[in-house]
Amino acid sequence: MEFRLIERIRELTAQAREDVRLGIGDDAAVLAPPPGKELVVAIDTLVEGVHFPPGTAPADIGWKALAVNLSDLAAMGASPAWALLALTLPNADAAFVEGFAEGFVKLAQPQRLALVGGDTTRGPLTISVAVHGFVPPGQALTRAGARAGDAVLVTGTLGDAAAGLHALQHPPRDDDGRAGLRGFLIERLNRPTPRLATGTALRGQATACIDVSDGLLADLGHICTASGVGAEIEAAWLPRSSALLELHDDTTALHFALSGGDDYELCFTVPAARVAELQAGLARLGCGATKIGRIVEGEGVRVRAADGSWLAVDRPGWEHFA
Ligand code: ADP
Ligand code: MG
């Protein structure tokens, strides 16, 4: 049974790449990394009931399992090439595999990403994807280079995924005419867009970069810790979608934008003098970035409200084992 599932995965995800000397089917894959590049690798696991609600469509799970990993490569400024997939399924569910592969391939194909191997086991629904990408030597973006005076920017909008999860957990009793807005937010939760083009464009530009998976405060906090600096965020500058603002009052929308996880936008720092030019370049790539604050000496992330007062921020973001 496993063999048939693996064979089906191989058929559904077929992607020709010159540098894949041996893909799915042997004991291990044989890959030819491009000369003169550095290899960037990451792995992330999604567990049903923890990282996605039970009942999530298999195609959404396939998309998201790859997206969260590609987002890590984007945050490093790397271009993706190969993936491994460890699939743990409660039973040999062919329909799940078909749907999963459809979502996975929809994201993989435009990137020419090849699935080169994996593992298939029985157990509670759990998906691990490992991705491999490349950067020119020494050009990977890290969390560690932010300096006092840098501007802090973020791509896209924040808080949508958290609001999408809220929408799933609190379905309206009657048709209130706002299903389209909720649908947009749920799509943002289930089908995050890894900002790969932005990530590669930030090579040599950003002083630090991270993807927002656990919430802005938590993830910008990681940049601050790694860089030995603090950050000041202006609440009024946080980019928020019209769907988020139409469905929630300002306090809730702000809470989602600061602490909600799963947006997979990039948060990065740039010397202040370079912001305008960089923003224009990123906008031409199709995903704009908004300035949300600045890096300061010290430590920790502080948020200033529109009236100039500092906000008391309790829960920085989603933490496992908290
Ligand atoms: P082995 O026992 O040698 O590890 P497996 O039966 O686990 O072999 O896997 C056989 C082949 O199928 C290997 O090339 C492996 O990488 C690939 N494979 C197994 N499961 C998956 C999966 N879920 N996705 C992609 N490739 C897989
Ligand atoms: Mg194996």
- Residue with the smallest CA separation from ligand 1 atom 2 is 27
Task: Determine the average pLDDT of the residues in 276-285.
Answer: 96
Q: What share of the chain has pLDDT > 70, as a percent?
A: 97
The answer to whether residue 321 scores a pLDDT higher than 60 is: no
Which domains are present in the chain?
2-135 (3.30.1330.10), 150-304 (3.90.650.10)
* Residue 70 in contact with ligand 1 by CB distance below 6 A: no
d(CA 208, CA 72) in angstroms, rounded, equals 13
* Residue 117 in contact with ligand 1 by CB distance below 6 A: yes
Burial class from Cβ neighbours inside 10 Å (0-12, 13-18, 19+) for residue 149 reads middle
Q: How far is CA 158 from the centre of its chain?
A: 12
Looking at all shown ligands, the one closest to residue 104's CA atom is 1
pLDDT of residue 173: 86
pLDDT of residue 316: 59
Q: How confident is the model at residue 313 (pLDDT cuts 50, 70, 90)?
A: confident
Of 258, 254, 250, 264, nearest in space to 191 by CA: 264
In the reported structure, the alpha carbon of residue 143 is separated from the centroid of ligand 1 by a whole-number distance in angstroms of 34
* pLDDT per residue as tens digits for the range 140-162: 999 999 999 999 999 999 999 99
- Residue with the smallest CA separation from ligand 1 atom 13 is 25
State pTM to two decimals: 0.95
Q: How confident is the model at residue 315 (pLDDT cuts 50, 70, 90)?
A: low
- Residue 128 Cα distances to 62, 69, 89, 108, 206, angstroms: 11, 9, 12, 15, 29
- When mean pLDDT is compared across 6-10, 55-59, 120-124, 317-321, the lowest value belongs to 317-321
d(CA 225, CA 222) in angstroms, rounded, equals 5
In the reported structure, the alpha carbon of residue 134 is separated from the centroid of ligand 2 by a whole-number distance in angstroms of 25
- Residue with the smallest CA separation from ligand 1 atom 5 is 119
- Residue 110 Cα distances to 105, 151, 192, 197, 313, angstroms: 9, 32, 15, 12, 40
In the reported structure, the alpha carbon of residue 25 is separated from the centroid of ligand 1 by a whole-number distance in angstroms of 6
* Residue 25 in contact with ligand 1 by CB distance below 6 A: yes
| Long-range contacts formed by 273-278: CB under 8 A, 24+ apart | 274/205, 275/151, 275/153, 278/153, 278/205
Contact status, residue 151 vs residue 290, Cβ threshold 8 Å: no
* Residue 66 in contact with ligand 1 by CB distance below 6 A: no
Binding residues for ATP: 118-119, 143, 213
- When mean pLDDT is compared across 69-83, 95-109, 239-253, 306-320, the lowest value belongs to 306-320
The amino acid occupying position 308 is: G
* Alpha-helix residue ranges (DSSP H) falling in the chain: 2-12, 58-76, 94-111, 160-169, 179-190, 196-201, 216-227, 242-247, 250-259, 275-284
Binding residues for substrate: 51, 262, 318
The answer to whether residue 317 scores a pLDDT higher than 90 is: no
- Residue 246 Cα distances to 141, 182, 252, angstroms: 35, 10, 11
**Spatial CB neighbours of 125, under 8 Å, sequence gap ≥ 6:** 47, 48, 88, 89, 90
Q: Measured from the CA of 24, which atom of ligand 1 is nearest?
A: 14
Q: Measured from the CA of 115, which atom of ligand 1 is nearest?
A: 25
* Residue 114 in contact with ligand 1 by CB distance below 6 A: no
* pLDDT per residue as tens digits for the range 126-139: 999 999 999 999 99
Q: Measured from the CA of 120, which atom of ligand 1 is nearest?
A: 20
- Residue with the smallest CA separation from ligand 1 atom 20 is 119
Task: Determine the average pLDDT of the residues in 250-256.
Answer: 95
pLDDT of residue 322: 42
Contact status, residue 84 vs residue 20, Cβ threshold 8 Å: no
pLDDT of residue 174: 85
Of 104, 170, 137, 110, nearest in space to 35 by CA: 137
Instruction: State the sign of the Cα–Cα–Cα–Cα dihedral 271, 199, 265, 75.
Output: negative
Q: Per the structure block, which two tokens stand in for 92?
A: 């040999």
Q: Which residues of 62-75 are buried (b: 16+ CB within 10 A; e: fewer)?
A: bbbbbbbbbbbbbb
pLDDT of residue 319: 52
The answer to whether residue 208 scores a pLDDT higher than 50 is: yes
Q: What share of the chain has pLDDT > 90, as a percent?
A: 90
Cα-based angle 90, 93, 96 (whole degrees, multiple of 5): 105
- Indicate the DSSP class of residue 202: T
* Residue 119 in contact with ligand 1 by CB distance below 6 A: yes
- Residue with the smallest CA separation from ligand 1 atom 1 is 27
In the reported structure, the alpha carbon of residue 220 is separated from the centroid of ligand 2 by a whole-number distance in angstroms of 37
